[in-house]
Structure 1
């Protein structure tokens, strides 16, 4: 009986240690995710500022708008989103 109690005590302590390690792991993972979120938000903000900067000069120039749209689409922006950002209702052209 003593041996069984000792084994249970060891098992309990190992489970507690494992739970503590899991808590530490989750804390580090949460900090990592927070850093990733901050970096993503910075990149989004930089992109929006760049878009605003470039599109301000493009308002007076149709060719600048075309250059912006071309660069955005070749960079991976879906065509329908580029059209919407340029003020088009749909993709139909005349």
Structure 2
């Protein structure tokens, strides 16, 4: 099991716009092959940074899988106006929370 961790820096004045936009594009993510769930969490010390943690069956399901898809392009297109900088994405391997 792989977790994708994406740090999404959001323009302070577009926080509500981001929440709305994310709700609109999330179906593009949830229908991806290998998708097993996600959580979107807003930073406490840094409320203009959201952390998107996505559980994938395999790394290949995320990259190249979802990242190379038209759904990913549309997902990012729906959010990009809210970003204050490029998102940072990395992966970790592990089991479910206990």
TM-score normalised according to structure 2 size: 0.28
More RCO (CA 8 Å, sep 6+): 2
Larger Rg: 1
TM-score normalised according to structure 1 size: 0.29
